[in-house]
Amino acid sequence: MQQLIFATNNLHKTEEVRAITAGLPYHIITLKEAGIEIDIPEPHDTLEENASEKSNVIYRLTQKNCFSEDTGLEVEALNGEPGVKSARYAGDERIFDKNIEKLLKNLKGHSNRKARFRAVVSLILEGKEYQFEGICNGIIAEAPQGSSGFGYDPVFIPDGDTRCFAEMTLAEKNQYNHRRKAIDGMLQFLKQRHIL
pLDDT of residue 93: 83
Q: What pLDDT, on a 0 to 100 scale, did the predictor assign at position 194?
A: 67
How confident is the model at residue 11, as a pLDDT? 87
pTM of the model: 0.91
The predicted model gives 103-125 an average pLDDT of 97
Alpha-carbon distance of 114 to 124, in angstroms, equals 33
CB count in 10 Å sphere of residue 51: 28
* Mean pLDDT calculated for residue range 10-18: 89
Q: Which of these ranges, 31-40, 100-109, 152-161, has the smallest mean pLDDT? A: 31-40
**Mean pLDDT to the nearest integer, 24-49:** 90
pLDDT tens digit sequence for 52-94: 999 999 999 999 999 999 999 999 999 999 999 999 999 988 8
Return the H-helix or E-strand segment holding 87.
Answer: none
User: Is 70 labeled as catalytic in the residue annotation?
Assistant: yes
Supply the pLDDT for residue 43.
86
Within 10 angstroms of residue 55's Cβ, the number of other Cβ atoms is 26
Alpha helices in the chain (DSSP H): 11-20, 47-62, 96-107, 170-173, 178-192
Choose between 42 and 169: higher pLDDT. 169
Catalytic residue among 45, 70, 92, 161: 70
Helical segments of 30-177, H only: 47-62, 96-107, 170-173
Average pLDDT over every residue of 91-101: 91
As a whole-number percent, the residues of the chain with pLDDT over 90 amount to: 76
What mean pLDDT comes out for the span 99-115? 96
The pLDDT score that the predictor gives to residue 195 is: 62
Residue 92's pLDDT is 85
Condensed to tens digits (0 to 9), the pLDDT of residues 145-196 reads: 999 989 999 999 999 999 999 999 988 998 999 999 999 999 999 988 866 5
